[in-house]
Amino acid sequence: MGLFGKLFGALKKTKDNLSSKLRVLFSKNKLGDEFYEELEEILISADVSYTTAQEVVARVKKQAMDERLKDEGYVTELLRGVLTDILEESEVEPPEYPCVIMLVGVNGVGKTTTVGKLAKYFLSQGKTVTVAAADTFRAAASEQLSVWADRAKVRIVKHEEGSDPSAVIFDTVSSAKAKNTDVVIVDTAGRLHVKDNLMNELRKMDRVVTREYPEADFLKLLVLDATTGQNAVNQARVFDEAVELDGIVLTKLDGTAKGGFVFSLAEELSLPVIFAGVGEKIDDLEMFDSKSFVEAIL
């Protein structure tokens, strides 16, 4: 099954949630103020933020009025187009090589698993990969990452539990430079976005990469659990302030009926989803495609 098929399967809950509500809306309301107010509420119920829902509806309403559209199919296409535009406006170019990808996020979102999946993805693109076990805080974190590194058949650099994570990154970068490795993927400890000392530790790791490997394309990606909902935007805002995020890796898409916060990330923070997890297997992660995502939920 290709990505498009996996994406449709993973987003079935979100699609069922949105489509059923839109059908009801079209069946009982003609285009007008009441229709657009209810459309806004439907988007909010799918975890699109209030601010972004207002923006989406304003764009749809303006285009519908300009083109004098009243047909359900045309308005649905307008909505699909507006949502796609919002995602595409925040898109970034694929990484250049060599590159360092540092994954950050709160506990339990699937960072370590994502490292393994990313490693497999880049290997499938013909790239060489080394992973850094910079989560030196959680018990057995490096062992867990070693399992994923073994599955993906990539090199891993790790230190003893309790070591300075920045030292792990320093050694990994030094090794990658010496071996001309294409991609370094850094696993970091989960941290609450409200803990200043832990965010400062991330900033230190950021500085080490920037100082030691300036020629590399450095991406800082926030791993978000798709079931988190609207709180994901708050998490992203704080992590972005700490390390200037480049984008999002979305996990557990198959477990949510509310994927709408993706549009809020793009509209309010200009943060694109770059990779999306569409299953539990090591190869169930792909580059995110805005058009495919919107097609899968509407």
278 or 44, higher pLDDT: 44
Q: β-pairing, 217-225 with 129-134?
A: unpaired
Which two structure tokens, joined as six digits, stand for 172? 């990994």
Share of the chain above pLDDT 90, in %: 47
pLDDT confidence of 220, banded at 50, 70, 90?
very high
**Which has more confidence, 188 or 28?**
188
Query: Residue 253 gets which letter from DSSP?
Result: G
User: Which of the residue ranges 175-184, 193-202, 220-229 has the most confident prediction, judged by mean pLDDT?
Assistant: 175-184
Does the pTM of the predicted model rise above 0.85? yes
Beta strand segments in the chain, E: 99-104, 129-134, 155-157, 183-188, 217-225, 247-251, 273-277, 285-287
- pLDDT tens per residue across span 18-63: 777 887 887 776 777 888 898 899 898 888 889 999 999 999 988 8
Q: Which of 36-40, 97-101, 132-136, 229-233 comes out lowest in average pLDDT? A: 229-233
Q: In the structure, what pLDDT confidence band is assigned to residue 142 with cuts at 50, 70 and 90? A: confident
- Please tell me the total number of residues recorded for the chain in this structure: 298
Given a cut of 50, whether residue 279 has pLDDT beyond it is: yes
Distance CA 213, CA 207 (A): 10
Question: Rounded to an integer, what distance in angstroms lies between the CA atom of residue 141 and that of residue 134?
Answer: 9
Instruction: Confirm if 294 and 83 have CB atoms less than 8 A apart.
Output: yes
Average pLDDT, the chain: 87
Select the more confidently predicted residue: 111 or 3: 111
Annotate 100-133 with b (16+ C-beta within 10 A) or e (fewer).
Answer: bbbbbbbeebbbbbbbbbbbbbbbeeebbbbbbb
pLDDT at 11 over 90: no
70-79, 168-177, 184-193, 199-208: segment of lowest average pLDDT: 70-79
Evaluate if residue 5 carries a pLDDT over 70: no
What is the average per-residue pLDDT within 270-274? 94
pLDDT at position 272 = 94
pLDDT, tens digit (0-9, with 9 covering 90-100), for 83-96: 999 999 998 888 99
Checking if the pLDDT of 4 tops 60, the result is no
